[in-house]
Amino acid sequence: MTAPLLPVESLLPMDTVAVPPKILHPDVESVLVSEEQIAAKIAELAAAVDNDYAGREVVLVGVLKGAVMVMADLARALTVPVSLEFMAVSSYGSATSSSGVVRILKDLDRDITDCDVLVVEDIIDSGLTLSWLLRNLRSRHPRSVEVVAMLRKPEAAQVEVPVKYMGFDIPSVFVVGYGLDYAQRYRELPYVGTLRPEVYTG
Ligand code: PRP
Protein backbone atom coordinates (compact mmCIF):
# COMPACT_ATOMS: atom_id res chain seq x y z
CA MET A 1 0.00 0.00 0.00
CA THR A 2 1.37 3.38 -0.95
CA ALA A 3 1.32 6.26 1.46
CA PRO A 4 -1.23 8.96 0.69
CA LEU A 5 0.20 12.04 -0.95
CA LEU A 6 0.38 14.95 1.42
CA PRO A 7 -0.51 18.43 0.27
CA VAL A 8 2.71 20.30 -0.40
CA GLU A 9 1.90 22.88 2.28
CA SER A 10 2.10 20.21 4.95
CA LEU A 11 5.58 19.24 3.75
CA LEU A 12 6.85 22.79 3.59
CA PRO A 13 5.41 24.79 6.49
CA MET A 14 7.18 27.90 5.27
CA ASP A 15 5.65 30.19 7.85
CA THR A 16 7.02 28.07 10.68
CA VAL A 17 10.57 27.62 9.36
CA ALA A 18 12.93 29.47 11.64
CA VAL A 19 15.47 31.51 9.70
CA PRO A 20 18.76 31.43 11.55
CA PRO A 21 20.09 34.86 12.35
CA LYS A 22 23.14 35.88 10.35
CA ILE A 23 25.85 35.97 12.94
CA LEU A 24 29.43 36.66 12.00
CA HIS A 25 31.78 33.83 12.86
CA PRO A 26 33.58 34.77 16.10
CA ASP A 27 37.02 34.23 14.49
CA VAL A 28 36.26 36.66 11.67
CA GLU A 29 37.55 40.20 12.04
CA SER A 30 36.01 41.81 8.98
CA VAL A 31 33.97 40.93 5.92
CA LEU A 32 35.60 41.85 2.61
CA VAL A 33 32.94 40.47 0.28
CA SER A 34 29.45 39.82 1.62
CA GLU A 35 27.14 36.93 0.81
CA GLU A 36 24.90 39.33 -1.11
CA GLN A 37 27.79 40.70 -3.15
CA ILE A 38 28.89 37.16 -4.01
CA ALA A 39 25.36 36.20 -5.10
CA ALA A 40 25.08 39.29 -7.32
CA LYS A 41 28.50 38.61 -8.84
CA ILE A 42 27.66 34.96 -9.53
CA ALA A 43 24.53 36.09 -11.42
CA GLU A 44 26.58 38.63 -13.36
CA LEU A 45 29.32 36.14 -14.27
CA ALA A 46 26.78 33.47 -15.23
CA ALA A 47 24.97 35.90 -17.53
CA ALA A 48 28.25 36.72 -19.29
CA VAL A 49 29.16 33.03 -19.67
CA ASP A 50 25.64 32.17 -20.90
CA ASN A 51 25.91 34.90 -23.49
CA ASP A 52 29.38 33.89 -24.71
CA TYR A 53 28.69 30.15 -24.86
CA ALA A 54 25.12 30.23 -26.18
CA GLY A 55 24.34 27.01 -28.05
CA ARG A 56 27.45 25.26 -26.72
CA GLU A 57 28.24 23.00 -23.82
CA VAL A 58 30.84 24.02 -21.28
CA VAL A 59 33.17 21.77 -19.32
CA LEU A 60 33.63 23.47 -15.97
CA VAL A 61 36.94 22.50 -14.37
CA GLY A 62 37.01 23.33 -10.67
CA VAL A 63 40.30 23.35 -8.82
CA LEU A 64 39.90 21.60 -5.49
CA LYS A 65 39.23 22.36 -2.83
CA GLY A 66 38.73 26.11 -2.80
CA ALA A 67 36.66 26.30 -5.98
CA VAL A 68 33.81 24.08 -4.78
CA MET A 69 31.58 26.96 -3.70
CA VAL A 70 32.07 28.99 -6.88
CA MET A 71 31.63 25.83 -8.92
CA ALA A 72 28.35 24.88 -7.23
CA ASP A 73 26.90 28.39 -7.38
CA LEU A 74 28.03 29.15 -10.92
CA ALA A 75 26.85 25.80 -12.30
CA ARG A 76 23.39 26.38 -10.88
CA ALA A 77 23.22 29.95 -12.17
CA LEU A 78 24.15 29.00 -15.75
CA THR A 79 21.57 28.07 -18.36
CA VAL A 80 24.03 26.64 -20.90
CA PRO A 81 24.56 22.91 -20.40
CA VAL A 82 27.63 22.11 -18.33
CA SER A 83 29.57 19.11 -17.16
CA LEU A 84 31.43 19.30 -13.89
CA GLU A 85 35.03 18.23 -13.68
CA PHE A 86 37.49 18.64 -10.84
CA MET A 87 41.23 18.68 -10.57
CA ALA A 88 43.31 18.65 -7.43
CA VAL A 89 46.78 20.08 -7.65
CA SER A 90 49.45 20.68 -5.11
CA SER A 91 52.22 23.22 -5.30
CA TYR A 92 55.60 22.30 -3.94
CA GLY A 93 56.74 24.94 -1.47
CA SER A 94 55.41 26.63 1.61
CA ALA A 95 51.79 26.45 2.64
CA THR A 96 51.13 30.11 2.10
CA SER A 97 52.96 30.83 -1.14
CA SER A 98 52.97 28.90 -4.36
CA SER A 99 56.25 27.87 -5.93
CA GLY A 100 54.86 27.43 -9.43
CA VAL A 101 55.86 23.76 -9.49
CA VAL A 102 52.63 21.85 -9.56
CA ARG A 103 51.77 18.21 -9.08
CA ILE A 104 48.45 16.71 -10.18
CA LEU A 105 46.79 14.91 -7.27
CA LYS A 106 43.53 14.28 -9.13
CA ASP A 107 43.18 14.62 -12.86
CA LEU A 108 40.14 15.16 -15.06
CA ASP A 109 37.89 12.14 -15.51
CA ARG A 110 37.41 12.82 -19.21
CA ASP A 111 39.06 13.78 -22.44
CA ILE A 112 38.65 17.49 -23.23
CA THR A 113 39.77 17.40 -26.86
CA ASP A 114 37.67 19.93 -28.85
CA CYS A 115 35.74 20.93 -25.72
CA ASP A 116 35.02 24.43 -24.44
CA VAL A 117 36.71 24.44 -21.05
CA LEU A 118 36.11 26.99 -18.33
CA VAL A 119 38.48 26.77 -15.38
CA VAL A 120 36.78 27.78 -12.13
CA GLU A 121 38.94 29.22 -9.37
CA ASP A 122 38.17 30.71 -5.98
CA ILE A 123 41.25 32.93 -5.88
CA ILE A 124 44.25 33.93 -7.95
CA ASP A 125 47.12 34.89 -5.73
CA SER A 126 50.54 34.68 -7.41
CA GLY A 127 48.87 33.27 -10.52
CA LEU A 128 51.42 30.44 -10.64
CA THR A 129 48.94 27.60 -10.13
CA LEU A 130 46.63 28.83 -12.84
CA SER A 131 49.45 29.64 -15.21
CA TRP A 132 50.70 26.07 -14.95
CA LEU A 133 47.17 24.63 -15.18
CA LEU A 134 46.33 26.58 -18.32
CA ARG A 135 49.46 25.31 -20.04
CA ASN A 136 48.60 21.78 -18.97
CA LEU A 137 44.97 21.98 -20.16
CA ARG A 138 45.89 23.62 -23.47
CA SER A 139 48.25 20.73 -24.21
CA ARG A 140 45.16 18.46 -24.29
CA HIS A 141 43.83 20.30 -27.37
CA PRO A 142 40.53 21.69 -26.12
CA ARG A 143 38.54 23.94 -28.45
CA SER A 144 38.92 26.79 -25.96
CA VAL A 145 40.09 27.41 -22.41
CA GLU A 146 38.98 30.39 -20.36
CA VAL A 147 39.05 31.24 -16.67
CA VAL A 148 36.45 32.40 -14.19
CA ALA A 149 37.70 33.43 -10.74
CA MET A 150 35.82 34.90 -7.83
CA LEU A 151 38.78 36.68 -6.25
CA ARG A 152 42.14 38.03 -7.36
CA LYS A 153 44.96 39.73 -5.49
CA PRO A 154 46.55 42.00 -8.11
CA GLU A 155 49.36 43.07 -5.75
CA ALA A 156 50.45 39.44 -5.31
CA ALA A 157 50.66 38.60 -9.02
CA GLN A 158 53.94 37.02 -10.12
CA VAL A 159 52.67 36.06 -13.55
CA GLU A 160 49.94 37.53 -15.70
CA VAL A 161 47.05 35.13 -16.17
CA PRO A 162 44.29 35.88 -18.66
CA VAL A 163 41.04 35.83 -16.68
CA LYS A 164 37.99 36.33 -18.85
CA TYR A 165 35.41 36.37 -16.05
CA MET A 166 36.60 38.14 -12.91
CA GLY A 167 34.75 38.57 -9.63
CA PHE A 168 36.50 40.88 -7.20
CA ASP A 169 39.99 42.31 -6.95
CA ILE A 170 40.97 42.37 -3.28
CA PRO A 171 43.99 43.63 -1.35
CA SER A 172 46.81 41.24 -0.60
CA VAL A 173 45.54 40.14 2.79
CA PHE A 174 44.88 36.61 4.03
CA VAL A 175 41.20 35.80 3.53
CA VAL A 176 38.94 32.88 4.36
CA GLY A 177 35.43 31.82 3.50
CA TYR A 178 33.51 30.92 0.35
CA GLY A 179 35.87 28.00 -0.23
CA LEU A 180 39.03 29.58 1.16
CA ASP A 181 40.58 28.05 4.24
CA TYR A 182 42.99 28.57 7.05
CA ALA A 183 44.32 25.14 8.14
CA GLN A 184 41.32 23.58 6.31
CA ARG A 185 38.82 25.60 8.35
CA TYR A 186 36.35 28.37 7.45
CA ARG A 187 35.71 27.19 3.87
CA GLU A 188 32.00 26.97 4.64
CA LEU A 189 31.55 30.65 5.52
CA PRO A 190 29.16 32.22 2.99
CA TYR A 191 31.23 35.42 2.81
CA VAL A 192 34.91 36.31 2.36
CA GLY A 193 36.58 37.81 5.38
CA THR A 194 39.75 38.26 7.36
CA LEU A 195 40.55 36.41 10.57
CA ARG A 196 41.31 37.93 13.95
CA PRO A 197 45.11 37.90 14.52
CA GLU A 198 44.74 35.77 17.66
CA VAL A 199 43.42 32.92 15.50
CA TYR A 200 46.88 32.61 13.89
CA THR A 201 48.83 33.10 17.06
CA GLY A 202 46.68 30.75 19.10
C1 PRP B 1 44.58 28.18 -3.72
C2 PRP B 1 43.55 28.57 -4.77
C3 PRP B 1 44.31 28.47 -6.05
C4 PRP B 1 45.73 28.77 -5.65
C5 PRP B 1 46.04 30.18 -6.02
O6 PRP B 1 44.58 26.79 -3.57
O7 PRP B 1 42.42 27.76 -4.75
O8 PRP B 1 44.21 27.18 -6.61
O9 PRP B 1 45.83 28.64 -4.22
O10 PRP B 1 47.35 30.51 -5.63
P11 PRP B 1 48.42 31.05 -6.67
O12 PRP B 1 47.73 32.03 -7.59
O13 PRP B 1 49.45 31.73 -5.78
O14 PRP B 1 49.00 29.90 -7.40
P15 PRP B 1 45.35 26.05 -2.41
O16 PRP B 1 46.67 25.56 -2.92
O17 PRP B 1 45.40 26.92 -1.19
O18 PRP B 1 44.47 24.77 -2.15
P19 PRP B 1 42.91 24.67 -1.68
O20 PRP B 1 42.08 25.22 -2.82
O21 PRP B 1 42.70 23.22 -1.47
O22 PRP B 1 42.76 25.48 -0.42
pTM of the model: 0.88
pLDDT in tens, 13-36: 555 556 555 689 999 999 999 999
Question: Going by CA atoms, what residue is nearest to atom 22 of ligand 1?
Answer: 66
Query: CA 163, CA 152: separation in Å to the nearest integer?
Result: 10
- Partnered with residue 18 across adjacent β-strands are none
Whole-number pLDDT of residue 202 = 75
Closest by Cα among 59, 66, 113 to 91: 66
Q: Do β-strands 192-195 and 28-33 pair in parallel, antiparallel, or remain unpaired?
A: antiparallel
Collect the ranges in the chain with pLDDT lower than 70.
Answer: 1-22, 92-100
Question: Which stretches of 34-172 are DSSP H helices?
Answer: 35-52, 68-77, 128-138
Please identify, by atom number, the ligand 1 atom nearest to the C-alpha of residue 63: 8
Question: Going by CA atoms, what residue is nearest to atom 15 of ligand 1?
Answer: 66
Whole-number pLDDT of residue 96 = 46
CA of 123 relative to ligand 1 center, distance in Å: 7
pLDDT in tens, 27-71: 999 999 999 999 999 999 999 999 999 999 999 999 999 999 999
Whole-number pLDDT of residue 20 = 59
- Look at residue 83 and give its three-state secondary structure: strand
Closest by Cα among 128, 103, 133, 95 to 117: 133
